[in-house]
């Protein structure tokens, strides 16, 4: 059974600040890639799981330059949720065009993004990956994935309702550590990168846009 999960969010992307980016295959920025050089020494060697999306693959490639994540397995279940027709839209645009869906979005667990993925399906596949990680023989696992996946996996591991996922701000180019045990997990690190642990005050404009959205909203 794995004991420690290092949940790495891909580095900064070129996507518009504050926009929902799920199935869109956004590329990363040069600045974001450089920042990963400070993250790599904090990660263990050994097995790695990775989302197959461009931004996570580029993150993996950069980390490998420092000699970590050399044994990587790609799994589609680690993809970000598909926001459907809301992809690359900001909350203000969504509120204007689809105000009738905001209450259902806020309720979260029974919601399906218009033209996109059902939250129940997303949570199900993230839960499948957590079960796989728990049974993995390696002591330490690195998982390179997305903000929504990490937040949801933290909730599942801590036995919290997944609608509370926004309690955990997850910055690009950082990792969160879960220490697993038989009845759940302990969140022992949040937003770690290069010796700095980010605080709420360090949130990016994109993060601040997210927390202004309806309570319990998915992204």
In the predicted model, is pLDDT for residue 218 greater than 70? no
The larger pLDDT score, comparing residue 205 to residue 144, is at: 144
Fold of 8-188: Rossmann fold (3.40.50)
Q: Out of 36-50, 149-163, 197-211, pick the least confident.
A: 197-211
Domain ranges, ordered by start, for the chain:
8-188
Which residue, among 112, 113, 109, 45, has the nearest Cα to 84 in the 3D structure? 113
In the predicted model, is pLDDT for residue 147 greater than 70? yes
Q: Out of 21-35, 140-154, 162-176, 189-203, pick the least confident.
A: 189-203
Buried b (16+ CB within 10 A) or exposed e, 9-30: bbbbbebeebbbbbbbebebbe
What pLDDT score does 195 carry? Answer: 57
* Confidence band, pLDDT 50/70/90 cuts, at residue 200: very low
Q: What is the pTM of this model?
A: 0.90
What pLDDT score does 194 carry? Answer: 78
In the predicted model, is pLDDT for residue 217 greater than 50? no
What pLDDT score does 1 carry? Answer: 82
């Amino acid at each position: 059974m794995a004991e420690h999960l290092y949940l790495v969010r891909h580095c900064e992307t070129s996507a518009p600040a504050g926009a929902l980016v799920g199935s869109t295959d956004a590329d990363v920025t040069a600045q974001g890639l450089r920042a990963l050089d400070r993250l790599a020494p904090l990660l263990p060697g050994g097995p790695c799981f990775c989302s197959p999306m461009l931004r996570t693959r580029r993150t993996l490639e950069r980390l490998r330059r420092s000699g970590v994540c050399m044994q990587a397995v790609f799994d589609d279940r680690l993809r970000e949720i598909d926001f459907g027709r809301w992809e690359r839209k900001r909350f203000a645009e969504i509120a204007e065009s689809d105000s009738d869906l905001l209450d259902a979005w806020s309720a979260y667990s029974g919601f399906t993004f218009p033209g996109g993925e059902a939250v129940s399906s997303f949570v199900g596949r993230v839960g499948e990956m957590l079960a796989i990680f728990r049974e993995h023989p390696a002591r330490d696992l690195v998982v390179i994935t997305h903000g929504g996946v990490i937040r949801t996996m933290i909730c599942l591991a801590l036995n919290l309702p997944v609608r509370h996922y926004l309690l955990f701000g997850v910055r690009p180019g950082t990792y969160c550590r879960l220490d697993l045990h038989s009845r759940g997990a302990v969140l022992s690190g949040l937003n770690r990168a290069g010796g700095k642990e980010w605080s709420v005050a360090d949130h990016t404009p994109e993060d601040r846009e997210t927390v202004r959205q309806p309570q319990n909203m998915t992204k």
